């Protein structure tokens, strides 16, 4: 499987747009492809693992530190291992042109800020918090789907 396929699979966990245009989707994929590649190599995650998570509609099976690596490189988990909602909102504006989509990203970021109050065992690594963030995103994305 190609890195592009891996990116499309991970897009299901990280994008929230109702009507993602092909242009938005391609811009997002182009931006995250190097991040996915780096984190996949660093944490030994293969495309089959990401496909299994996609099929299960859950990131539960993905290695927490792989998820943290991706979110850190994306800029939504900071060096302290905390979720940065403002960075998430900025990424929403960067990747999605539709104001409704940007607003939904902002709404989800505000909701998911609560994960920063959760106790995690890995302190600043961000692995545990990244899994909490992925769960929060998935729980609150509603009917949003990047696969239109």
pTM over 0.75: yes
CA atoms within 13 A on the CB side of 121: 3
- DSSP string covering 55-89: HTT-STTS-HHHHHHHHHHHTSB-TTS-B-HHHHH
pLDDT score at 19? 53
Is residue 8 one of the residues assigned to a domain? no
Question: Between 43 and 100, whose confidence is greater?
Answer: 43
Question: Hunting for tokens 């409704």 — which residue is that?
Answer: 100
Is residue 148 one of the residues assigned to a domain? no
Domain count, the chain: 1
pLDDT score at 6? 42
pLDDT, one tens digit per residue, over 15-39 is: 443 456 777 777 777 888 889 889 9
Is residue 135 one of the residues assigned to a domain? yes
Q: Is 17 exposed, middle or buried (0-12, 13-18, 19+ CB in 10 A)?
A: buried
pLDDT, one tens digit per residue, over 72-108 is: 999 999 999 999 999 999 998 988 888 988 898 899 9
- pLDDT, average across residues 106-124: 94
pLDDT score at 16? 41
Q: Which CATH number is 101's domain given? A: 1.10.238.20
What is the extent of the structural domain holding 59?
24-140
Is residue 49 one of the residues assigned to a domain? yes
Mean pLDDT, rounded, of the chain: 81
pLDDT score at 142? 62
């Amino acid at each position: 499987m190609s890195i592009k396929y891996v990116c499309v699979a991970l897009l299901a966990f990280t994008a929230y747009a109702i009507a993602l245009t092909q242009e938005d989707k391609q811009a997002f994929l182009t931006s995250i492809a190097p991040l996915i590649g780096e984190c996949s190599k660093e944490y030994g995650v293969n495309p089959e693992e990401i496909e299994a998570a996609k099929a299960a509609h859950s990131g539960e099976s993905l290695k927490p530190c792989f998820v943290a690596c991706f979110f850190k490189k994306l800029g939504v988990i900071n060096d302290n291992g905390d979720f940065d909602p403002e960075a998430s909102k900025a990424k929403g504006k960067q990747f999605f042109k539709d104001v409704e989509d940007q607003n939904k990203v902002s709404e989800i970021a505000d909701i998911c800020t609560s994960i920063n109050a959760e106790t995690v065992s890995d302190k600043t690594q961000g692995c545990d918090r990244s899994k909490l963030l992925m769960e929060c995103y998935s729980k609150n994305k509603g009917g949003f789907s990047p696969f239109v």
